[in-house]
């Protein structure tokens, strides 16, 4: 549900901000800071036994324009917290927090336009912490291993002033973690593999 709401907000914000001012270019040597909110929406049926819920948190990223078209981008966020539910009855049996820093190389198609789309690809490292159990698993020791994986990205900067803009961004990230309960591996890896949606305001300097 939250992913639908955020997608609608992204579309509405893009339409509201588009085509209202003179275009201004991203150029080689520019630093770009964006801040806003990000939704991590895990894929459905990500494990035979349990399922991981979505979460939305404040986020930030930093981009450096290596050339007028090529950029290096780092995504960070406040730790996300996900409830873990049993597939059988939907009851909550635990929770975890995670940080998913992601490094990407981007290609900016139209750096001099007002609507500046880009695509990117890179690597993600996700670390899990503060695992807790509740309900049917209360008292058990849950641990989730870290995850390295690829990340794909598409988005756009929509300029509304010389150095300020609206950013909308969608990523697909491969996040798979080995879950252990009281030291025993809980079946196959949990395939979180989320879609990641962001709406941010950006500043270029």
Domain map of the chain by residue range?
2-204
CA distance 47 to 52: 9
pLDDT digits (tens, 9 = 90+) for 37-56: 999 999 888 888 888 999 99
Alpha-carbon dihedral angle through residues 187, 181, 53, 101, given to the nearest 10 degrees: -90
pLDDT in the model for residue 17: 46
**Weakly modelled stretches of the chain, pLDDT under 70:** 1-23
pLDDT in the model for residue 9: 52
Distance of CA 106 to CAs 37, 69, 121, 174, Å?
20, 8, 7, 18
Distance of CA 80 to CAs 129, 142, 148, 195, Å?
10, 17, 17, 14
pLDDT in the model for residue 120: 98
pLDDT in the model for residue 6: 52
| Residues 161/141, Cβ–Cβ less than 8 Å | no
pLDDT digits (tens, 9 = 90+) for 24-35: 778 999 999 999
CATH number for the domain running over 2-204: 2.40.160.20
Structure tokens at 153: 């990205």
Q: What is the pTM of this model?
A: 0.86
């Amino acid at each position: 549900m939250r992913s639908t709401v955020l997608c609608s907000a992204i579309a509405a914000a893009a339409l509201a901000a588009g085509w209202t001012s003179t275009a201004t270019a991203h150029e080689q040597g520019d630093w770009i800071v964006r801040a806003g909110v990000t939704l991590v929406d895990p894929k459905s049926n990500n494990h035979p036994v349990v399922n991981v819920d979505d979460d939305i948190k404040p986020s930030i990223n930093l981009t450096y324009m290596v050339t007028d078209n090529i950029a290096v981008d780092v995504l960070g966020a406040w730790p996300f917290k996900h409830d873990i539910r049993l597939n059988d009855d939907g009851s909550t049996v635990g929770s975890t927090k995670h940080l998913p820093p992601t490094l990407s190389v981007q290609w900016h198609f139209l750096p001099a336009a007002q609507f500046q789309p880009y695509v990117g690809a890179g690597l993600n490292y996700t670390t899990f912490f503060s695992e807790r159990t509740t309900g049917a698993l209360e008292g058990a020791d849950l641990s989730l291993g870290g995850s390295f994986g690829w990340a794909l990205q598409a988005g756009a900067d929509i300029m509304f002033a010389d150095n300020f803009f609206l950013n909308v961004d969608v990523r697909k990230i491969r996040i798979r973690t080995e879950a252990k309960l009281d030291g025993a591996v809980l079946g196959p890896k949990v395939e979180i593999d989320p879609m990641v949606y962001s709406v941010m305001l950006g500043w270029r300097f």
